[in-house]
Structure 1
Amino acid sequence: MTGVTRQVAETEGLTDVELAARLRMTLGRLSRRLRQHGPQTLTSSQASTLASVETLGPVRLGDLAAAEGVSAPTQSRLVASLEAQALLRRTPDVDDRRATLLEITPEGRRQLEQLRTERSAFLVERLGTLSPAQRAALVSALDVLEDLAET
């Protein structure tokens, strides 16, 4: 029995609860493995904050906290640590002089790109160990995983 055939046979009899638990455990393990690769200068929360600021562009602290799903005080501590490393900076909000916006710095972009490059290299290495059938199964599963992530 090939790895793909064995996986299909193993999952056909799973309940939704069992499948959810297996998926959660597997994604958690993969996520931990990925976090081990790349610059160790950033925590996962700092990397997530930096990536959100990059994506959102200049953003207010409250809006960033909402996007990250954390409280404003927690986000404020994360931002302060990233500012101390010169990875984020505050700029005045031209539309509201009382407010400031957060922007990623060139060094922040460099570190984020390095993190992504090293984590992608780890995945490329692991993908190279897959058989053609496993790669095809992964490609098919990606559509489903992307749908799960969107809902």
Structure 2
Amino acid sequence: MSPTIFYGQTGKFTFRMLATVLGGQSICILLGALVARAIAAADEGSRSGTAYLVVGLGLGALCIVAAGLMRRPWGVTLGWVVQALTLLSALVVPMMFVVGLFFLALWVTCLVKGAKVDAEMARREAAAGTGEAGAGAGDAADRVDG
């Protein structure tokens, strides 16, 4: 199974990490919406400042909704949509491209590393559930070593 998924269930640790990324991303997007409005207001002929603000607020709200829906199979898909829309927001505020790349990197890292952590947690729970004789001593040694 590929750790970079576009649809489907993730483990408990993974969806918590992804929701945290989206929560932080929402703050940056909301601040970016304010910047877009200010840039449009500084341009005397532009009347799109309010539209930029409303769209930015909508994208920030979508981040929060996506964070709450990470437990659903389509929550990851919605998260990918948010990542793409964040990159597209660079058409209005060019520095949002850097923000989008940063959060996209966090998103992919959380998908990959989160899947590994969830697999390891499942392996340890299965070992503890079968009652292996050496499982208790090995777990204690793992805590001391790492």
Query: Higher helix share goes to which structure?
Result: 2
Question: Given the two structures, how large is their TM-score scaled by the length of structure 2?
Answer: 0.27
Structure scoring higher RCO (CA < 8 A, sep ≥ 6) equals 2
Query: Higher strand share goes to which structure?
Result: 1
